[in-house]
Amino acid sequence: MFEFLPIAPPDSILGLSDEFTSDPRTNKINLTVGVYKDEQGRTPILATVKKAEEILLRTESSKSYMPIEGHPAYLKAVVDLVFGKSIDPARVAASQTPGGTGALRVGADTVSRHFPGARIWLSNPTWANHGSIFQAAGLDTQVYSYLTVDKTALDFSAMVGELKSQGRRGDLVCLHACCHNPTGIDPTFEQWREISDLLAEKQMVPFIDFAYQGFGDGLVADAIPLSTLLERNQEAIVCNSFSKNFGLYSERVGTVMLVSRDAKSTEAALSQIRQAIRCNYSNPPRHGAATVATVLTDPALRAEWNGEVDGMRNRISQMRAMFIAGMKATNASRDFSFLSAQKGMFSYSGLNSMQADWLKKERGIYIVGTGRINVAGMAMSTMPTLCAAIAECIQATS
Ligand SMILES: Cc1ncc(COP(=O)(O)O)c(C=O)c1O
């Protein structure tokens, strides 16, 4: 059977990371992958996670199965973290999933079982995995414009214009609540209000990917687009991930949340999510969710975690500001100050694939061919090398 299989193409970003690992140069810099790094280039385990794990080690008494929808205390804490007081929790059917990816897939599967071939609108560009996840679930993916031609800002009129003219009642619209991946370019609060009005008017359903809560403007501020969307729209699918803001990448902790009009619809929605999960992975892994629940429900640990998230966000902002200033100091022919309006780990640098190739070949600096850079991969110690190399690259390739 398997001898007839063709070789599937490798994941482009992970492929670059493999190349980076086998690159023998000692001054190489990796700005490709989607994980947070500290100044030393490590992806640390948060202190609050270690403390929660110590508590669990002492107190956990069973590794029996969890309910299909996951850890009850975790679910309650997540709904509170994501929605705050903006809606009645009785309207949210929440289920723990293996990471944000699992949340997107379970959400899409749940819709697709009852509305096969439903359409979902994705921004162009969007996170590379969105299209594959939604198509694998049987949804029909459509794209809406997101960026201006020079790829440095949001083309809001094109975005809403296309959704308005081509969107249909019952279509889903995938939106990044904050820290748009791969561009770092988010709508303003006023624009969120317009998006919310448009979806309500067209009766389209927001499918919100919330993978970076706390990495934009803060844990509470980053949730404002959600409450704005829910002011006018009675239904939504919200997917969160604790990979980034808890550093729990490999523990696979996320949540899918179906927001319905009323408690009766919530009950039906949860029963459908359960069915989608049961025939997939049956029930979720316990450890990561138990860790998150322990931190979020203990006031002291929660306050400490807030500080840890602030620390990661502030380091990213500092790196972004240092990079902009560093590029200015090189007198490069390109101005990078547009990056200051971007949020989160990723930025669209405006560099093209030829320049990405030049940087890799000539200087051992790895960025994605689209020009996406992981700002969290930058460090104070390597900033001068990075800026000088990019300035040289721009000169050599223009
Ligand atoms: C926009 C976006 N959504 C979802 C995810 C999935 O996160 P997880 O690793 O929790 O599956 C990512 C991860 O990079 C992401 O960038």
Of 247, 268, 297, the one marking the end of a domain is: 297
35 and 147 fall within a common domain = no
Gap between the Cα atoms of 77 and 79, Å rounded: 6
Q: Which atom of ligand 1 is nearest to the CA of 130?
A: 3
Atom 14 of ligand 1, nearest CA residue: 34
35 and 71 fall within a common domain = no
154 and 259 fall within a common domain = yes
Atom 3 of ligand 1, nearest CA residue: 211
80 and 185 fall within a common domain = yes
Q: What CATH number should be reported for the domain holding residue 248?
A: 3.40.640.10
Mutate to test the pocket of ligand 1, among 104, 123, 127, 346 (most ligand atoms within 8 A of CB): 127
Gap between the Cα atoms of 354 and 337, Å rounded: 22
21 and 156 fall within a common domain = no
Angstrom CA distances, 71 to 68, 125, 243, 378, stand at 9, 34, 17, 36
292 and 320 fall within a common domain = no
Mutate to test the pocket of ligand 1, among 32, 101, 180, 345 (most ligand atoms within 8 A of CB): 101
CA of 100 to the centre of ligand 1 (A): 5
Domain assignment present for residue 50? The answer is no
CA of 142 to the centre of ligand 1 (A): 20
Gap between the Cα atoms of 379 and 222, Å rounded: 25
Instruction: Kindly give, in sequence order, each residue whose CB lies less than 8 Å from that of residue 123, ignoring residues fewer than 6 positions away.
Output: 143, 144, 146, 159, 174, 175, 176, 180
80 and 227 fall within a common domain = yes
Domain assignment present for residue 285? The answer is yes
H-helix segments, the chain: 12-22, 47-59, 72-83, 99-114, 128-136, 156-166, 189-202, 224-232, 263-278, 287-297, 299-329, 353-363, 383-397
CA of 3 to the centre of ligand 1 (A): 33
User: What's the gap between Cα 128 and its chain centre?
Assistant: 11
CA of 212 to the centre of ligand 1 (A): 8
Using a 6 Å CB cutoff, which residues line ligand 1? Answer: 34, 99-101, 127, 176, 181, 209, 211, 241, 243, 249, 254
Q: What CATH number should be reported for the domain holding residue 38?
A: 3.90.1150.10
Kindly state the DSSP code that residue 154 receives in the 8-state scheme: B
Which of 192, 150, 18, 178 lies closest to 82, judged by CA? 178
Q: Let me know: does 108 contact 261? Beta carbons within 8 Å.
A: no
244 and 335 fall within a common domain = no
Domain assignment present for residue 208? The answer is yes
Gap between the Cα atoms of 234 and 12, Å rounded: 38
Mutate to test the pocket of ligand 1, among 237, 243, 245, 246 (most ligand atoms within 8 A of CB): 243
Adjacent-strand bridge partners of 120: 141, 172
Taken in order 236, 136, 97, 43, the sign of the CA dihedral is negative
273 and 329 fall within a common domain = no
pLDDT of residue 106: 98
Instruction: Work out the end-to-end distance of the chain between its first and last CA atoms, rounded to an integer number of angstroms.
Output: 50
Taking only the tens place, the pLDDT of each residue in 48-87 is 999 999 999 999 999 999 999 999 999 999 999 999 999 9
Q: Which atom of ligand 1 is nearest to the CA of 241?
A: 10
Of 297, 314, 337, the one marking the end of a domain is: 297
Residue 189: how many CA atoms within 13 Å on its side-chain side? 6
Domain assignment present for residue 24? The answer is yes
My answer on whether omega of the bond before 225 falls inside 30° of 0, hence cis, is no
Judged by DSSP in three states, 123 sits in strand
Domain count, the chain: 2
Taking only the tens place, the pLDDT of each residue in 17-36 is 889 999 999 999 999 988 99
Residue 375: how many CA atoms within 13 Å on its side-chain side? 30
| Secondary structure percentages of the chain, helix, strand, coil, to 5 | 50, 15, 35
One digit per residue, pLDDT tens: the chain, 398 residues? 999 999 998 877 888 888 999 999 999 999 998 899 999 999 999 999 999 999 999 999 999 999 999 999 999 999 999 999 999 999 999 999 999 999 999 999 999 999 999 999 999 999 999 999 999 999 999 999 999 998 999 999 999 999 999 999 999 999 999 999 999 999 999 999 999 999 999 999 999 999 999 999 999 999 999 999 999 999 999 999 999 999 999 999 999 999 999 999 999 999 999 999 999 999 999 999 999 999 999 999 999 999 999 999 999 999 999 999 999 999 988 899 999 999 999 999 999 999 999 999 999 999 999 999 999 999 999 999 999 999 999 999 98
Q: Let me know: does 289 contact 71? Beta carbons within 8 Å.
A: yes
Which of 247, 273, 248 lies closest to 260, judged by CA? 273
Q: Let me know: does 93 contact 266? Beta carbons within 8 Å.
A: yes
CA of 34 to the centre of ligand 1 (A): 8
21 and 105 fall within a common domain = no
359 and 341 fall within a common domain = yes
CA of 224 to the centre of ligand 1 (A): 20
Q: Which atom of ligand 1 is nearest to the CA of 127?
A: 1
Judged by DSSP in three states, 398 sits in coil
Contacts 24+ apart (CB under 8 A), 138-145: 138/108, 138/112, 139/108, 139/111, 139/112, 139/172, 142/166, 142/171, 144/173
Range of the domain at 74: 65-297
Of 274, 297, 320, the one marking the end of a domain is: 297
Atom 12 of ligand 1, nearest CA residue: 211
Atom 5 of ligand 1, nearest CA residue: 100
Gap between the Cα atoms of 73 and 296, Å rounded: 9
Q: Among all residues, which ones are annotated catalytic?
A: 127, 209, 244
Q: Which atom of ligand 1 is nearest to the CA of 104?
A: 4
Gap between the Cα atoms of 23 and 284, Å rounded: 37
CA of 73 to the centre of ligand 1 (A): 23
212 and 332 fall within a common domain = no
Q: Which atom of ligand 1 is nearest to the CA of 103?
A: 11
Q: Which atom of ligand 1 is nearest to the CA of 254?
A: 10
